[in-house]
Chains A and B, each alone.
Chain A
Amino acid sequence: MKNAFLTVEAVGAMITSGATLFISGPEALLRQLPRGKWIGGTTAYFILEDGGVSREDRLFCTCFDEAMDVRTAILSSDQLSGLVERRYDHGFTCVMAPAFSGALQRYAVEGPGLPGLYDQPVFGCVAGVRLDRVDTEMPKVFDGAAGTFSHDGLAALWVELPETIEVDLDIVNLFTVGVGSEFSFAEGGFEVAECLVDGRPTNLARHIEEQGLDTRLPLVADYAGAMINVSFQAVDADNGRVRFYAPVVPGVIYRLARPVADYALAYVDAAKGRSAAGMLSCNCILNYLYAELEGCSTGGFVGPVTFGEFAYILLNQTLSCLSLRDVPAEHK
C-alpha cells in the first residue's frame, strides 16, 4: 500500500495500468479519470508529510498493491446492507459518502447495527467541498469501474487480500471525556432539542448558550475504551435546536471534550510506535480548521481532510487510519 499526491495525468496512468486506488480530490479532476479499479470522493484539503494544504491541482491516492481482487459500487440508502454482504472472505472495505447525503445519514444511524459489520475493517471518509463553496457545490463520490458518480449514494471498494496480509484499522482521537456535565438523549439523531443534563430535562441549545460552552469541542462518549465524538454543526438557541455532524445515540452518556493544548504535538505523540507514513489516514475538516493544521504536520499521518471519517462507524473530529501488514509468523 502506497500513498501519493499526484497530477490527474499520473493518477490516470496508474488506473490504466490496473492499480487499485482510493482517490480524493477536486471534482473537476476526478471527472477526468479513466474507468478502472478505483473509488473517489471530493475534497480540497489534504494532510501531507510536511503539513496541511488546500490544493485544486492534485489528487491524493492510495494504491493497494496487495489486492487480489476488487469490487466497486455506489450503494443507495436502501442498499447499505450490501456493504457487508458483498465483501470478500478476507479483506477490507473502503467507503466514501457525500456530506449531507441520504446515504450518509442512514449509514450513521443504521450502520452500527449491520450484522457482522465489525468482522472486517470498514475504513473511509465523508466527501466534502471547499468551505467557501459549501452553499454552491455538492460533495460527490465516484465509482471508477462503472464510470458513475453520485451526490447521494455511498461508494464502496471491496478489497480481497491474500491470507498472508492482515489489516489494522484504528483511530486517533485527541479528545478525551471532560469533567463537566453528563448529557444523554432519549431520542437519537442528527438534530435534537431536549436532552438530560446530569439527569435533568433541559433544552440543549439554551443550555449551551447560558453556560457559554465551546462548541468547537465535541461531545465525547467512552465506547469500551474508544473515545467517540459527536461534533456540533449549529446551535440555534432562538428555536431551541442543536444540529450535529453525527447522530447522538440514546443510552450513551456524553460529556463535552477536554480542550487540547497543542494538536500538532498530540499527533506526534499519537504517532509514536506506528509507521504513520505507511498508513492511509483521514482527518476531519474541523480539526484542520480549529487546530489550524494548514502548514502544520501531524506526526506523519497523511491523507485527505474530509467532512467526517469512518472506522466501522461514522466519526467526527477524529483521525481514522488504515494499514496493511504481513501476518506475524506465530499467527500463520
Chain B
Amino acid sequence: MDIPPANNILWSRIVAGTSNPDISTLATRLLITRLRISVSNQETNLLNAALELHRFFVKNKFAHRDLSAIMGA
C-alpha cells in the first residue's frame, strides 16, 4: 500500500484531531497524541506536525499496518 504524499490533507486532519483512525500500533498512537498536544499548546504548527507524522510512516515499516486505517478515516 502506497503512503499518501505529505501534502495530503489526511495527515493534517489526524494531527488536528478532526480525524481519529483506529490505530493499533503503540508507537503511532503515542506519536499522534504527542503531535496533537504540541499543536494544541502551539509548540508547533499543523503543517510541521503533519510533516512529522508523514515522515514517521515513510521511515517505519512497522507503522504500515495502520495505513489502511489512516487512509480510510
* Interface set of A (CB-CB < 8 Å, partner B): 112-113, 118-119, 121, 166, 169-171, 223-226, 249-252, 311-313, 331
Contact = CB atoms under 8 A, between A and B. Distances in A.
Considering the complex of A and B, which 3 residue pairs feature the smallest CB-CB distances, nearest first? A223-B33, A118-B27, A224-B29
A226 B61 contact: no
A331 B33 CA distance: 27
A216 to B, nearest CB: 25
A330 to B, nearest CB: 12
A118 to B, nearest CB: 4
Contacts of A119: 27, 56, 59-60
A169 B26 contact: yes
A121 B60 CA distance: 12
SS class, residues of chain B in contact with chain A: helix
B16 to A, nearest CB: 13
Interface residues of B, number: 23
A112 B31 CA distance: 8
Nearest to B33: A223
B26 A312 contact: yes
Contact of A118 (B28, B36, B40, B41): B28
Contacts of B30: 112, 118, 223-224, 226, 312-313
A249 B36 CA distance: 12
B49 to A, nearest CB: 12
B37 A251 contact: yes
A312 B26 CA distance: 9
Given A166-B62, A250-B41, A312-B27, A118 B33 contact: no
A250 B33 CA distance: 12
Contact of A249 (B20, B28, B37): B37
A249 B27 CA distance: 18
